[in-house]
Amino acid sequence: MRTTIFGASGLLGMALIREWPGDSVTGLSSREVDIRDANAVQKAVKETNPDWVVLAAAYTDVDGCESNRDLAFAVNRDGALNVARAAQVIGARLLFLSSDYVFDGKKTSPYETGDRRNPQSVYGRTKAEAEIRLLVSNPDCCIVRTSWLFGIGGKCFPDTILKLAASRPAIDVVDDQRGSPTYAEDLARVIIQLCRKNAHGIVHATGAGDCTWFEFAQEIVRQAELPAMVRPVSSTQMARPAPRPAYSVLSPASLNSFGIEMPSWRDALQRYLKARG
């Protein structure tokens, strides 16, 4: 199987390159191919001639999207459509990475794949609109929604907490947003399995279990054996430009239907800390 990955320099893209065994894999960073450029995308897909295209490239600065709306839609929605069209031209399958931010966070039980999209941020709207258009233009595509991604090789929540905890006696972390931390390595392995199973439709793939950001930070500090105190605060006390879903836990039922399960986020964190060194 031949695979082309857009966004190969991101946390997930790098994990996909590391974890994908036995197949021909081409990784393209955003510097090599800007997905806003339809011609460049078309050329790259034709040259690599993949069976699967994995679109992990995105503008993921959630707060930045609020002040750079045009850029956010150009990359996350229009860029996705450029990749989808290029894949369709050569008959390749498409796997698109989406987000828990397509939901409003008002539920109190895990979101199912068929629950209504109601994004509250610009970033969430870009992903929701991309999903809707992709399902029309490429009905056999696979859309993988994930959440709270962390991993080796770039900025992520555990990395930030570890640096703060090493330099401060106490750190404040919001305790009224609940979701599921997802290790890039684990998500990469799931994506590989989904491609090999010729998956289509919407799939939710996150670390098993859930927590608040405060609980996540507490566990990071505990496992890393750092002395810093983690203090819970509300979202209003740490206001950000983009609204975050208060609850964005995703149901694993769609993933389980493929016979795939993900490890717990606590187990994943332990492996992340060991790999980080």
Q: Looking at the annotation, which residues are catalytic?
A: 123
Which residues pair with residue 67 across a beta bridge? Answer: none
Cα–Cα nearest to 41, from 117, 92, 1, 101:
92
In order of 70, 171, 174, 181, 225, the CA distances from 234 in angstroms are 30, 13, 5, 19, 25
Cα separation, 212 vs 173, in Å, equals 9
What is the chain's alpha carbon radius of gyration, rounded to the nearest angstrom? 18
Dihedral of the alpha carbons of 36, 39, 40, 44, in degrees to the nearest 10: 120
Which residues pair with residue 53 across a beta bridge? Answer: 4, 94
